[in-house]
Structure 1
Amino acid sequence: MDVRVERTRRSLQDALLDLARERPLDEVTVAEIAARAGVNRSSFYQHYSEKETLLADALDAAAEAAAATLPGHYEPPSGPPQALVQFLQHIDEHAELYRSVFGGTGSTAVLARLRARIEAIVREGLVSSPTPAYEGVPLDVIAAGITGSALGVVEAWLMRDPRPSVEVGAEWVWRALLGPGGSWA
C-alpha cells in the first residue's frame, strides 16, 4: 500500500479513537474526524465510506499491533501473554468506544470484523505451535471457541463498574482460556 494512503488512514483511525475518548461515537461527525486527522472531508471519503468502516479498521489495527508482539513459536506462559495485556490496555484506553461496540447498540459489522481478526490471529498461533490438546477438532472450530471465550470475558470485564485493572482482566481471560485443568499439556 502507498505510504501516503497508509499514513492518511492511520491519521483518520487515530483521530476517531481520540474523539471517541472525548465523547460517544454517535456524536462524532465525519467532518470532526477529518479535521482532527488534518485532512479534508473528501479525503475521508476517498478512504472510507462511513465511520463504521473506519472504526473496524482502527480496531483491526489495534488487534494486529498486539498480535505483532507474539513470538513465532508459542509456548504457553505461566500467566497472560504480553500481547493480551497490550490489547486490554488498548481496550481500557478506549473503554467507552469498546463498550458501545460490545453493547446492545453496537455495530454487529464492527464486532464481526474484530472477531474475524482475532480468530485469524488465533489460527496462525495454533498452526505455528500445534498442541495435541486439540487433536481431532477442526482448526476453525478451536479458533472460534478460543476467540468467543476471550471476547466474552473481555466484554464482561469491560462492562464491570468499577472495571478491574488491565492485569486482572488479562488474568481472567487467561484463566478462562486455560480452563479448569490450567495446562495445555
Structure 2
Amino acid sequence: MEEKADLRKKRTKRLLRTALLELVEEKGLERVTVRDLTERAEINRGTFYLHYRDVPDFMERLSGEIFDGMKSLLTQLNPYEIKQYAEKGVPYPGAVQVLNYVAQNADYFRVILGPNGDTRFSMKVKEFMSDHLYSHVFSKASDEFKFPRDYLIAFITSANIGLYTHWILNGMSMPVEELALFITRILYKGPLAVAEILK
C-alpha cells in the first residue's frame, strides 16, 4: 500500500513538473497560475496544495533540487587536472559528468535558460563555480597569477555557462563526449589555439 502511494506521489510530481515547464516555456513563470498547472497536469488543485504552496514555491523547489545535483558535481571539478586529459586527447571526466547531468534534466535547462526562463538560476551556478574556484582551486596559487585571479575566474565560469546554454538551446546536437573534449581543450589551450587545431 505504501509503495503504491509512493508511486502515485512520484507520478503526480512528474506530471506537475512537465506541466510547469511547458507553461513557463509558453508564457513565463509570472503568468502561470495553479489553475493552469493543474488543468495541464490533469490533477485537482487539492493535490497540488498537498505538495506546494503556490507556483513560485514549486519552481523554487524544483530549481533547488536541480541546483543541488549540479553543485555536487561542480565541487569535484579541478581545472589543474584538465592538462593531463587534454594532452591525451580525451575529455575531462568532470566535464562529461556535468554534461550528462544537464542532458538528464534537459527539459528543465531548456526552459530555465530559454527566453521565458529565469536568469537567477544561471547566476546562482556561476556564483557557486566562482566561489569554488576562488576558495578551493586557485586559493593557494595567487602568486602564480600575473593577471587578476577574479578576471580569470569570471572568464572560466562565463565561458562554461555560455557553452552549456548554447548546447541545450540548440537541441544538444553535439554528443556529450565530443563537447566535453572541446571544453577540455579550450580550458587547457584557450579559444584561439583550439580554433587553430580545428582548422
The alpha-carbon distance between structure 1 residues 91 and 128, as it changes in their structure 2 partners (threshold 3 A), is farther
**TM-score for both structures, normalised by structure 2:** 0.62
More helix by share: 2
The alpha-carbon distance between structure 1 residues 22 and 43, as it changes in their structure 2 partners (threshold 3 A), is closer
- 2:71 is matched with which residue: 41, 64, 68? 64
Deviations 1:85-141 (A, max 9, x none): 111101111112111111111112222212212222232322256683x4331x332
Tell whether 2:129 aligns with 1:115.
no
Tell whether 2:57 aligns with 1:50.
yes
Percent identity between the two aligned chains? 18
Q: In structure 1, how many angstroms separate the alpha carbons of the residues matched to 2:111 and 2:48?
A: 27
Larger C-alpha radius of gyration, 1 or 2?
2
Is the 8 Å Cα contact of residues 52 and 58 (structure 2) preserved in structure 1? no
The alpha-carbon distance between structure 1 residues 69 and 136, as it changes in their structure 2 partners (threshold 3 A), is closer
Structure 2's unaligned 5+ residue stretches are 1-8, 25-33, 195-199
**TM-score for both structures, normalised by structure 1:** 0.65
Equivalenced residues, count? 161
Structure number with the bigger relative contact order (C-alpha 8 A, sep ≥ 6) is 2
CA RMSD between the two structures: 3.8
Structure 1's unaligned 5+ residue stretches are 1-10
The alpha-carbon distance between structure 1 residues 93 and 20, as it changes in their structure 2 partners (threshold 3 A), is farther
Which residue matches 2:104? 93
The amino acid across from 1:82 in the alignment is: P
- 1:125 is matched with which residue: 137, 155, 160? 137
The alpha-carbon distance between structure 1 residues 130 and 174, as it changes in their structure 2 partners (threshold 3 A), is farther
The alpha-carbon distance between structure 1 residues 27 and 131, as it changes in their structure 2 partners (threshold 3 A), is farther
Q: In structure 2, how many angstroms separate the alpha carbons of the residues matched to 1:64 and 1:162?
A: 21
